[in-house]
Chain A
């Protein structure tokens, strides 16, 4: 067991982060708005933590060995990242959420690309090389970062479970099902759309802040269009009608490459097939996204999982 945890510590924590990033894309989708902006906020959160924590001397980022970074500082960085992301999300959200459907998706793609190019060119983000030597709280097994990731994921899951059963969550669903009818019932569509968008942004930013420490380095490749597609895959394949979908999607799809690698090691497989299983992860993702949206438009997990199966009362004649 310890050996397993040592080998897969990095993967396990990555899976938890992925689940939360799936949720950050799922939140705006609850109101029917396809926003691909999450990687932008994720990158912003990571840069926030990296800029605050990495030490600069003579214009160079130093890597300090054996120096532990207090965990409380990371919590503070998460707070700063959350505030920054919320402000940016409000500005972008109020402007962009007047757009619907495809236009909103395009605007958020543009947003992510603009942030990416900015981070590639600005001095504070370390340009193309990014920021190195982000101080570590834990030395050794990366699994220790689960001390952040696991509580975060549990809180998120509880929060989402409650959200879907409160006034706000029901307003989200009403907007998704029919914007006009929702407005007619007195729901302030713009308010709830911006709220969902901002909540997703804050979550992505906070995950980014911890991720920066977890990965030790942060650069412009963290927030790209590819990442948008990946998070979208978590939601579409996992399920887009209940929060359990993106969580399971994020956990399982992040573990998938390792599983495929395991299968590819089985003796007797033709070489092209084992190569496909190792290198072809994204081919499989792509096909899963396409087939998932065609055959399981609501994803693999649907809200039915919460409905207790009631035994039919015998008819009393």
Chain B
């Protein structure tokens, strides 16, 4: 492998790994509060990408009920991305109310919640397909802004060669890292974060101390959906929106990421995301068909060898 290839793989791996990381943080937030995996997170991710696409005023394809329709206005990309993320956040709240709250109120088996969120995910994904069809959509560079049209690639001087890297990849990595930093600050440096950690530690005690747990759970789902939506938009920019089902496949990989890093652990999710992103980027060209299995092979091995994840601490099961 030449130095040039190595650098390109490294940056590609970091970019996709960064998206894996923030996507997985959405799972992590909900898991740390409720101890439940929100299987609908992959569907929220898909929705985020579609919302952004619609808000830029781009038209939909030939299939589905909304074929060839478009919004009467088009927002600049940054605003559209933000709007998409906010709408994804509200979808998160909606899912909480439909699939999580009734079961939580009844103190049902967590596996039932997994099943109900899975059902919602299937319904959302197929609703998208029903509305706008299964076509592949992509964000044209012209929508992203003049800067990306003029600078599709950035060149790095390495020794005597120039290594090109797609500008969007660098931006995606930067955006992911900013989100990780903001979320870390939110959890550790603000009153909201303190309250969230208190609820995660012990819901009953937290509510006795005057914390409105129900509102905090809603905030968690909004936050989770918000960053899930951003992740969807980022992947949409990088490789396009690969039909309604792409969020489900991505969602499964996200599960591998959080297990790898240790469920409910923020730094763990980031490390897990980067590890899987890099592992996929460095698959030799001859074995590229096996790329999609890497995350799951890692997941399987980690579950068997170290179920608490790379950074996680073993939890003693109390009876």
Task: Across the interface, name the chain B residue whose C-beta is closest to A112.
Answer: B296
* Whole-angstrom distance between the Cβ of A182 and the nearest chain B Cβ: 13
Tell whether, in the assembled complex, residue A283 and residue B255 are in contact, meaning their CB atoms are under 8 Å apart. Answer: no
Contact residues on B (Cβ < 8 Å of other chain), bracket: 35 or more
0 or 1 for each of A260-297: is its CB under 8 Å from B? (1 = yes): 00000000000010011001111101111111111001
Distance of A113 Cα from B280 Cα, bound (Å) = 15
For window 262-313 of B, CB contacts with A under 8 Å fall at: 289-290, 292-293, 296-297, 299-300, 303-304, 307
For window 98-141 of B, CB contacts with A under 8 Å fall at: 98-99, 102-103, 108-127, 129-130
Centre residue among A180, A282, A293 by max chain B CB count within 10 A: A293
Which of A106, A232, A272 makes the CB contact (< 8 A) with B255? Answer: A106
Interfacial chain B residues near A190, Cβ < 8 Å: none
Q: Is B256 an interface residue (CB 8 A)?
A: yes
Tell whether, in the assembled complex, residue B121 and residue A113 are in contact, meaning their CB atoms are under 8 Å apart. Answer: no
Tell whether, in the assembled complex, residue B122 and residue A282 are in contact, meaning their CB atoms are under 8 Å apart. Answer: yes
Distance of A103 Cα from B314 Cα, bound (Å) = 14
Distance of A287 Cα from B127 Cα, bound (Å) = 11
Task: Across the interface, name the chain B residue whose C-beta is closest to A288.
Answer: B119
Which of B124, B256, B290 makes the CB contact (< 8 A) with A286? Answer: B124
Task: Across the interface, name the chain B residue whose C-beta is closest to A92.
Answer: B300
Tell whether, in the assembled complex, residue A294 and residue B293 are in contact, meaning their CB atoms are under 8 Å apart. Answer: no
Interfacial chain B residues near A232, Cβ < 8 Å: 115, 118
* Whole-angstrom distance between the Cβ of A295 and the nearest chain B Cβ: 8
0 or 1 for each of A80-120: is its CB under 8 Å from B? (1 = yes): 00000000000000011011011101110111011001101
Interfacial chain A residues near B119, Cβ < 8 Å: 233, 285-293
Tell whether, in the assembled complex, residue B303 and residue A106 are in contact, meaning their CB atoms are under 8 Å apart. Answer: yes
Q: Is A34 an interface residue (CB 8 A)?
A: yes
Q: Is B252 an interface residue (CB 8 A)?
A: yes
Tell whether, in the assembled complex, residue A283 and residue B115 are in contact, meaning their CB atoms are under 8 Å apart. Answer: no
Distance of A163 Cα from B110 Cα, bound (Å) = 27
* Whole-angstrom distance between the Cβ of A78 and the nearest chain B Cβ: 28
Task: Across the interface, name the chain B residue whose C-beta is closest to A285.
Answer: B122
Interfacial chain A residues near B124, Cβ < 8 Å: 286
Tell whether, in the assembled complex, residue B123 and residue A225 are in contact, meaning their CB atoms are under 8 Å apart. Answer: no
* Whole-angstrom distance between the Cβ of B153 and the nearest chain A Cβ: 31
Task: Across the interface, name the chain A residue whose C-beta is closest to B294.
Answer: A117
Task: Across the interface, name the chain B residue whose C-beta is closest to A107.
Answer: B303
Contact residues on A (Cβ < 8 Å of other chain), bracket: 35 or more
| Contact A229/B122 with A95-B304, A106-B259 known, Cβ cut-off 8 Å | yes
Distance of A23 Cα from B111 Cα, bound (Å) = 18
Distance of A36 Cα from B127 Cα, bound (Å) = 24
Tell whether, in the assembled complex, residue B130 and residue A283 are in contact, meaning their CB atoms are under 8 Å apart. Answer: yes
Distance of A127 Cα from B243 Cα, bound (Å) = 23
Interfacial chain A residues near B98, Cβ < 8 Å: 290
Which secondary structure characterizes the binding site on chain B?
A: helix
Tell whether, in the assembled complex, residue A294 and residue B103 are in contact, meaning their CB atoms are under 8 Å apart. Answer: yes
Q: Is B65 an interface residue (CB 8 A)?
A: yes
* Whole-angstrom distance between the Cβ of A125 and the nearest chain B Cβ: 12
Q: Is A121 an interface residue (CB 8 A)?
A: yes
Q: Is A149 an interface residue (CB 8 A)?
A: no
* Whole-angstrom distance between the Cβ of A266 and the nearest chain B Cβ: 19
Distance of A98 Cα from B65 Cα, bound (Å) = 47
Tell whether, in the assembled complex, residue B299 and residue A106 are in contact, meaning their CB atoms are under 8 Å apart. Answer: yes
Q: Is A236 an interface residue (CB 8 A)?
A: yes
Interfacial chain B residues near A95, Cβ < 8 Å: 304
Interfacial chain A residues near B25, Cβ < 8 Å: none
Which of B109, B113, B289 makes the CB contact (< 8 A) with A121? Answer: B289
* Whole-angstrom distance between the Cβ of A126 and the nearest chain B Cβ: 13
Tell whether, in the assembled complex, residue B122 and residue A114 are in contact, meaning their CB atoms are under 8 Å apart. Answer: no
For window 287-314 of A, CB contacts with B under 8 Å fall at: 287-294, 297
Tell whether, in the assembled complex, residue B123 and residue A101 are in contact, meaning their CB atoms are under 8 Å apart. Answer: no
Tell whether, in the assembled complex, residue B297 and residue A114 are in contact, meaning their CB atoms are under 8 Å apart. Answer: yes
Interfacial chain A residues near B293, Cβ < 8 Å: 113-114, 117-118
Distance of A109 Cα from B248 Cα, bound (Å) = 12
Tell whether, in the assembled complex, residue A101 and residue B110 are in contact, meaning their CB atoms are under 8 Å apart. Answer: yes
Centre residue among A99, A226, A279 by max chain B CB count within 10 A: A279
| Contact A34/B300 with A180-B319, A225-B248, A289-B122 known, Cβ cut-off 8 Å | no
* Whole-angstrom distance between the Cβ of B24 and the nearest chain A Cβ: 13
Interfacial chain A residues near B114, Cβ < 8 Å: 34, 102, 105
Interfacial chain A residues near B299, Cβ < 8 Å: 106-107, 110
* Whole-angstrom distance between the Cβ of A257 and the nearest chain B Cβ: 13
Could you jot down 5 A-B contacts, CB within 8 Å?
A106-B303, A121-B289, A180-B319, A225-B248, A294-B103
B-side residues, CB < 8 A to A, are 37, 65, 98-99, 102-103, 108-127, 129-130, 248, 252, 255-256, 259, 289-290, 292-293, 296-297, 299-300, 303-304, 307, 319
Additional pairs, 12, CB under 8 Å, beyond known A99-B307, A118-B293, A291-B119: A103-B307, A106-B299, A107-B299, A109-B296, A110-B299, A117-B289, A275-B130, A279-B130, A286-B120, A289-B116, A290-B119, A294-B102
A-side residues, CB < 8 A to B, are 34, 95-96, 98-99, 101-103, 105-107, 109-111, 113-114, 117-118, 120-121, 180, 225-226, 229, 232-233, 236, 272, 275-276, 279-283, 285-294, 297
